[in-house]
Structure 1
Amino acid sequence: MTLRDKVSAERNRPIRLVPLAMHGSGLSGLWLETDDADLVVYEATTGAQHRNHIIAHEFSHMLCGHTSTEAVTDQAATLLFPDLDPGLVRRMLGRGGYADRDEQEAEVVATIMMERLGRSDPGAADELPAAEADVLARIQKSLRRT
């Protein structure tokens, strides 16, 4: 059983791992919570150890009860909806950004998980349903502009 399987069972919903070339955007990972699944998007061009840490970091946000990244920051809002003002997107979705405390907590939990698991692979990348693939295509298109 992979780490993804365990977190998925804890949350009682599927988790899809999605590699995405983020083209130097400053992002290395995102957790997008959809109606049907949690998407963990990670930098496609990074090494295996860094990839696993990014994924563990996003899993940590889930396990710690944080809010998903879906359009919570200006950068994520711009990636998802490049033609709209990021502030408007946040207000429409009624979400705020990760608090620094949440980021620190997720990083500590991810580090502990990785130390305990060693070099365990969280699982393979997934094929996405059309609606989720469309959102990721918009993110990738937006990243190419940066």
Structure 2
Amino acid sequence: MGFDLRRPFWGRSPSDELSRMSQRCGALIEEIDTPVDLESLLARVSTKCQRPIIPIGTVMPPEGPTGLLMRTPDEIVIFFSTNTSKLHQNHTVLHEIGHLIFEHRGITDLDLVRSRLMFPDIDPSVVISMLQRTAYSDEQEAEAELFASVMGMALHEWRPTQAEWIVPDNIAPVVERIQKVLGSPY
């Protein structure tokens, strides 16, 4: 791949923690065999997770997250902010993929009201456990950021083959409700 993650790539000695994260990140990147583009990476991680990963762009509030990972029994949905640069959108998707491949489990702080707005027909406790987002530990965030940064450098530039990600019909109503809660004008 060209990167030795056991050594710092910015020229300084890393802390023991950063060195450990770098080694773990490097091992996971080697395991998935660096693909040539983000779509190939999504396909490989989908296979590893044994369910499709669906990236969906949406407008997110400036003070909110730029990405959101939703795991369901049938698919994994990565919401990413479209009100930012393409480079940042790609980094956000890579960051959320990092949470997946590191098998991070978030500490959910989604409240009952918002979970009922997104999924009015589902028990809010189920919604909260499905989303598991917004409060990963600092170490988990650092690992996901490191993965996104290194994988982004390895991929160089990503150009989607389609203008937009297609939202599958079976989850379109859910996506619409989530976009409304997040403040999307679409």
Residue 47 and residue 4 in structure 1: after superposition, are their counterparts in 2 closer, same or farther (change >3 A)? same
Higher alpha-carbon deviation: 50-59 or 115-124: 115-124
Q: Computing the radius of gyration over CA atoms, which structure comes out larger, 1 or 2?
A: 2
Q: Show the counterpart of 2:156.
A: 118
How many pairs are equivalent? 138
Q: Show the counterpart of 2:87.
A: 49
Residue 143 and residue 78 in structure 1: after superposition, are their counterparts in 2 closer, same or farther (change >3 A)? farther
- What is the Cα deviation at residue 40 of structure 1? 0.6
Q: Does the CA contact (< 8 Å) of 1:30 and 1:41 recur in 2? A: yes
Q: Show the counterpart of 1:139.
A: 178
Q: Show the counterpart of 2:167.
A: 127
Extract unaligned runs of 5+ from structure 1.
84-88
Residue 93 and residue 144 in structure 1: after superposition, are their counterparts in 2 closer, same or farther (change >3 A)? closer
CA RMSD of aligned residues (A): 3.1
Report SS of the residue matched to 2:175: helix
Aligned residue type for 1:51:
Q
- What is the Cα deviation at residue 123 of structure 1? 6.6
CA distance in 2, matches of 1:25, 1:56: 20
Higher alpha-carbon deviation: 111-120 or 55-64: 111-120
Q: Show the counterpart of 1:39.
A: 77
Residue 67 and residue 129 in structure 1: after superposition, are their counterparts in 2 closer, same or farther (change >3 A)? farther
Q: Show the counterpart of 2:22.
A: none
1:7 correspondence with 2:42: no
Q: Does the CA contact (< 8 Å) of 1:43 and 1:51 recur in 2? A: yes
Q: Does the CA contact (< 8 Å) of 1:23 and 1:143 recur in 2? A: yes
Sequence identity (%) = 27
Q: Which has the higher contact order (CA 8 A, sep 6+)?
A: 1
Residue 144 and residue 119 in structure 1: after superposition, are their counterparts in 2 closer, same or farther (change >3 A)? same
Q: Show the counterpart of 1:86.
A: none
CA distance in 2, matches of 1:57, 1:68: 14
List per-residue Cα deviations over 1:39-68 (Å, max 9, x = no partner).
010012222111110000000000001126
Q: Could you state the TM-score of these two structures normalised by the residue count of structure 2?
A: 0.62
